[in-house]
Amino acid sequence: MQRVRVDCGPNQPPCRRRILLQSPGGPLHHVGALADDHPQLWSLLRETSRSFYLTLRVLPGSVRPQIGLAYLLARTTDTVADTELIPVEQRIATLAGLKRRILGESGLPLDLRPFAGVGHPSPGGASVAERALLTRFEEAVQVLGRFTSADQRLIRQVLDTITTGQELDLRRFSRASATELVALPTLADTEEYTHLVAGCVGDFWTRICSAHLFPGGAWDQESQLRDGVRFGRGLQWVNILRDLPRDLRTGRCYLPQDLLATAGLSPAALVDPASWGRVRGVYGDFLEIAERHLEAGWEYTRRIPSSGRRVRLACAIPILLGMRTLRLLREGNPLDPATRIKVGRGFVRSSLWRACLGSWDVMSWDRIQAWARTTSQA
C-alpha cells in the first residue's frame, strides 16, 4: 500500500500523542498509544482490515487507541460468529462469554482454540490474521482495562450492542444453508440489523470524539449523533448490497422480503443472475436507501469543526469508497457471483489525496463528492 503523508496542521495532536490510561485500581498515568505498547495488536489491525486501517492511521492519537481497540474486539466477536465450522449454538454461547469478558462481568479466560483452528485453515474457518486475533483476545481485554473509566464505558457499550446484533443474526439465520434461503422479513428488520452492527459505531465514534476532541459544545452533538448512526448504517448497506451473492450462497438474504414482494419477487429470484432485469428496479431502491444514509454521513463530515481536520479526513475516506462502490453496483450485475465489485487502488489513492486537500476547505467537499460519484477512474 502506498504511504501518503498527511500534514495535520499546527493545531492538531501529533500522531503519536500520548493519552491518559488508567491502571486497574490505580490513578491515571501516561502510557504509550496502542502502536507503541502493543505493536502486535496494532499489526493485527492492518492485517484484518486494510481499509479501516487506512482510516485509523489518520485519526488523532487521542482517540485512535480507543477506536482501534473497539474494532479489534468487534472483529474478534465477528470471527466467532462467522466460523461456520462450529455449530450455531456453540457460537452463540461463546459470543455470550466474550461479551461477559468485555463488559467485565467475568474474569474467566475463554478457550477460543476451536475457533482459531491453529494449523488447520479451511473454508468456513478463520483466516491467519483472524486466528492470531483470537489467540490475543485476553491481551486486548487487558488493554481495555487500562483506559479511563469513561472510555471503558463507551467501548463496552458499543461492544454490547454489536454482540447483541451478532447473536440476533445467528438466531435469525440458524436454519440458513446453501439449500435453504432465509430472508429478513421487513425493511425495519434490515435497518435494525444495520444499526446493531454498524450504526451504533457512529454513535460511539461521535461520543469518543466529543469527549477527547470537541468538548464544551464545539459541535452540535445531537445532530452528529443522529447522522453518525446513519453514517454507519449506510456503510453496512453498502456491504449488504456488495456481498449479496456471497450471502445468498450461505442461505442469508439481508434484503427485506416485504420490499421484494412489492416488486413481485421472492428472495430466491436473487440467486439467478439472469433475473437482473426483473430485480434491477427494486435493487435501485435499496441503492437509494444506502445513498441517503451516506449523504447523512457526508453532512456529518462537513459539520466537523476546522480543528478536527484529521477526523474529517478519516470520515471522508469510507464515504468516498462507499459512494464509488454504489456506482459500480449500478453499472454492473450485482447478482452475478463472477462479477467482483472492488474499488481500485488508483481511486483509493486519488480519494485520499482529494480528501486531504478538502479537509482544509469544507466548501470543496461538494466537488469531491461529485467526483466520487461520476469519475471513471478505476
Closest CA to 193 of 248, 239, 259, 155: 239
Whether 34 has a pLDDT exceeding 70, the answer reads no
Please report the pLDDT score of residue 125 as a whole number. Answer: 54
At 341, the pLDDT band (50, 70, 90 cuts) reads confident
Q: Over 50: is that where the pLDDT of 22 sits?
A: no
Predicted local confidence at residue 355, as pLDDT: 74
Which whole-number Å values give the CA distances from 131 to 27, 170, 215, in the listed order? 34, 20, 38
Residue 294's closest CA among 210, 235, 336, 247?
235
Average pLDDT score, the chain: 84
CA dist., res. 120 & res. 127, Å (int): 10
Q: What is the pLDDT of residue 187?
A: 98
The x, y and z cell numbers of residue 352, run together, are: 485520499
In 3D space, the residue among 48, 138, 134, 121 whose CA is nearest the CA of residue 91 turns out to be: 134
How large is the average pLDDT for residues 86-102? 96
**pLDDT of 54 above 70:** yes
Q: Which of 10-14, 45-49, 250-254, 310-314 has the highest mean pLDDT?
A: 250-254
* pLDDT recorded at residue 44: 76
Q: Which of 232, 245, 166 is nearest to 194 (CA)?
A: 232
* Structural domains of the chain sorted by starting position, each given as residue range(s) with its CATH number in brackets: 30-146+162-170 (no CATH), 173-378 (1.10.600.10)
Task: Select the more confidently predicted residue: 193 or 19.
Answer: 193
Measured CA to CA in angstroms, residue 16 lies from 13, 19, 58, 60, 309 at distances of: 8, 9, 11, 8, 17
pLDDT band at 183 (very low <50, low <70, confident <90, very high): very high
